Structure 1
Amino acid sequence: MLNPASEHEALGILKQYLTVYKRTNYGKLSLLGGIILLGFLGNIVGFFTPSESHIAVIQISGEIGADSDVGDGQKIATHLLDAMTNDESSLIVIEANSPGGSPTDSQTINELIVQYKQSNDPIDTEVAKNILSVIKDPTTPFNENFESDIDVKTQPRKLIVAVVTKQCASACIQSIINADVIIGQRASLIGNIGVRLSSINWSELAKKVGVTSTVITSGPYKDMLSPWKAIDEEQILIAKETLIEPVFEQFKSDVIAARADKLKINYDVLFSGLAWTGDDAVKTGLIDATSNPVIVKSALEKIIGDDYKIYSKSSFSLGSFIKNPFK
């Protein structure tokens, strides 16, 4: 596959041609043909390029559940599965920056990690500790003669390291909670564990302006929490008991199962919806250490002896291009 920087530069040149030829059908066809050719050439080059040992990087960015390669839970899990089953990937890094989102999407990611760990023998716990010690060592990024005695490639499975940048809240926590090592930045926003259901109600406004809505339902709760109806406390209670609490219990169960031996905070506080900085998240046991993505990348590449390879960028798709050629 073409180098991302080169591909971005090539696309930039093609976009410039668009400004010159956009008023002619010939220019439009030329632009279309050029981008399609660029995409196919990238795929062909990637197909014939020998695979090399690498650190697989999977990105979670923005709202979880969004229709994007780094937001959709199924796409993220698919990239994870590719990394897990690729003999050339030596370690898996999940880069996370998300305010949360869909619980079903976060469960898709989390459950894949859980099953992967359950299907293999446990890794040596000292490996994770040693990796953390190297990351915390301020000399690591500048040590050109660094030699690692940390044995990662012969472990029964690949180590999974989650690296939080700006934030990892709510569903993002559920997505990465089963990583072997979780690292945040000192000022990262981490936590906000919980479930919410929002509903706008404009029934009073509609009454004032004389607007009504007629809804025919098969049962008394089919239009529950309709914005056209006055707020009904009974329906709010039912929604909490049937929708909020069950999903919340699933969320809590995942967090406790993953970090029970590391958590150092009262569960009532942990699951209250509070969020913490990275420094305080280490104290609560939600994450293992603080650093930053540049230092983590440098340390991991030196420890493993492999370079980062980002899995989250989709290869060229003619169908996707036709829908949005400049996405």
Structure 2
Amino acid sequence: MSEWDNDEKPEWGAPVTKRAVNQQGDDQGRDWKLIEKLVMSLQSEQRRSRRWGIFFKLLGFAYLFILLFAFMFPISNGVKPSLGEHTALIEINGAIAANEIASADNMVGALREAFEEKSAKAVLLRINSPGGSPVQAGYVYDEIKRLRGEYPDKKVYAVISDIGASGAYYIAAAADEIYADKASLVGSIGVVGGGFGFTGLMEKLGVERRLYTAGENKAFLDPFSPEKEDEVEFWEQVLETTHRQFIEQVKAGRGDRLAEGDGLFSGLIWTGEQALDLGLIDGLGSASYVAREVVGHEKLVDYTLGGSKLDELIRRFGVSLGAGFADQLVQSRLELR
């Protein structure tokens, strides 16, 4: 018979036998083993969770990187889809400048692709721009003329939406025909070059201008120095020369369709309805109207080339705002607008 009959346990204070001590030790050992197993299980689970967390984070970063790469550098298999007969559309939006979407590089590249595509039966320039650099506009004008000579059966149509002024009209003048809405703003055949003068403000602030140059005209039209009459006269000659070049190109493009009158090249801007009477445009209509009724191929395929997607994203967030403001503030820049 055992020391404890009928599973009776010793009362508090009663003497404990060796067997009871061993049993208590075994119970404590089992408890510690269970605790140890639980802790080890928790640690193992945490390690697994961390590993899976790192894995999914890396997977997410890789996925985002692939998306960004595909967004910025689209992959082409070299096989063009069948487009069918269509009208090639090229958008000219915003300021015309080397560092803008409407740069000569982008427009010329799009023009060449559109002219080379056999299924494109005509090229349509949809313009919504106040103008910009005469150099960039001149590049595009010359390329349109060259491509028209190389592909005589493919016509170019310019369609002005809200505004097609100055440098934008310079480009439009190279087209076979120009269309606009009756309320569109058309023309502004002139040249402008402006800046600011800060001499009075600097005197009030007690700021002294210190400028060192080699060459008597190196500080030409410096906004922090008093204006010089001879420099102003020279700059006006530059503007006049550029204006004359602009007028010559418009006359070459429009020919005898232009109405007579000195006001035509005075820098004024007209509505589409007025521009039609002045011979600046050939008719009233939208891009879809021209594609459908004039070209005879209603389907429009966009050939417009733009800047990198990253540049566009940065532009939207306004990172270049400060640089652009400073550029406008202190520099004199010749523009067709």
Q: Same fold (TM over 0.5)?
A: yes
Q: CA deviation at 1:30?
A: 2.5
Residue 286 of structure 2, aligned match among 283, 292, 299:
292
Q: Within 5 Å, give how 1:158-169 maps onto structure 2.
A: 158-169=154-165
Tell me if the contact between 1:193 and 1:271 (Cα under 8 Å) persists in the aligned partners: yes
Identity of counterpart residues, as a percentage? 28
Distance 1:201 1:39 in 2: 42
Q: Which secondary structure state, in structure 2, belongs to the residue aligned with residue 164 of structure 1? A: strand
Gaps of 5+ in 2: 1-56, 317-337
Alpha-carbon distance in structure 1 between the residues aligned to 2:89 and 2:126: 7
Residue 217 of structure 1: aligned partner: 213
Q: CA RMSD in A?
A: 2.4
Shift in Å at residue 207 of structure 1? 1.2
The reply to whether residue 278 of structure 1 matches residue 272 of structure 2 is: yes
2 CA distance for matches of 1:191 and 1:86? 31
Aligned partners of 2:144 and 2:175 also within 8 Å: yes
1:210: how far off? Answer: 1.1
Distance apart, 1:298 and its partner CA: 3.7
Q: How does 1:246-261 map to 2 (within 5 A)?
A: 246-261=241-256
Following superposition, the deviation at residue 300 of structure 1 comes to 5.0
Distance 1:222 1:299, change over 3 A: same
- CA shift digits 1:98-145 (9 cap, x unpaired): 00100001001100112223446xxxxxxxxxxxxxxxxxxxxxxxxx
- Aligned residue pairs, count: 259
Candidates 294, 297, 308, aligned match of 2:300: 308
Amino acid at match of 1:60: I
Going from structure 1 to structure 2, the CA distance change for 1:48 and 1:82 (only over 3 Å counts) comes to closer
- In structure 1, list runs of 5 or more residues that go unmatched: 1-23, 121-155
* Structure 1 counterpart of 2:141: 110
Paired residues of 2:126 and 2:159 also in contact (CA < 8 A):
yes
Tell me the amino acid that sits aligned with residue 105 of structure 1. Answer: Q
Select 1:170's aligned residue among 161, 166, 170: 166
Aligned counterpart, 1:56: 88
Whole-Å Cα distance in 1 between the matches of residues 147 and 227 of structure 2?
45
1:190 aligned to 2:183? no
Does 2:270 correspond to 1:265?
no
User: Shift of the alpha carbon at 1:68?
Assistant: 3.7
Cα separation, partners in 2 of 1:258 and 1:313, compared to 1, 3 Å: closer
State the alpha-carbon separation in 2 of the partners of residues 213 and 260 from structure 1: 51
1:127-138 equivalence runs, <5 A:
none
Q: Check the 8 A contact 2:98/2:136 in 1, yes or no.
A: no
Is residue 81 of structure 1 aligned with residue 115 of structure 2? no
Contact persistence 2:122–2:154 (CA under 8 A):
yes
Q: Secondary structure at the match of 1:44?
A: coil
Paired with 1:74 and 1:37, the residues of 2 have a C-alpha distance of 23
Would the aligned equivalents of 1:97 and 1:166 in 2 still touch at CA under 8 Å? yes
| CA displacement 1:276-323 (0-9 Å, x = unmatched) | 00000000000001122343344357x23x621101145xx9xx4566
Q: CA separation in 1, counterparts of 2:231 and 2:70?
A: 56
Q: TM-score under structure 2 normalisation?
A: 0.70
Letter in 2 for 1:184: A
Q: State the 1:39 CA deviation.
A: 6.5
Matching residue's letter, 1:36: F
User: 1:276 and 1:236, CA in 2 relative to 1: closer, same or farther beyond 3 A?
Assistant: same
The answer on whether the counterparts of 2:128 and 2:163 sit within 8 Å (CA) in structure 1 is yes
* 1:222-241 paired onto structure 2 within 5 Å: 222-241=218-237
Residues 60 and 44 (structure 1), Cα distance of their counterparts in 2 relative to 1, 3 Å cut: same
Residues 272, 325 of structure 1: CA spacing in aligned structure 2 closer, same or farther, 3 A cutoff?
closer
Distance in 2 between residues matched to 1:85 and 1:191, nearest whole Å: 30
Deviation of the 1:197 alpha carbon:
0.6
Determine helix, strand or coil for the equivalent of 1:163.
strand
Alignment counterpart, residue 179 of structure 1, candidates 152, 175, 178: 175
**Residues 215-234 of structure 1, C-alpha deviations (whole Å, 9 max, x = no match):** 21122211111011112222
C-alpha separation in 1, matches of 2:85 and 2:199? 60
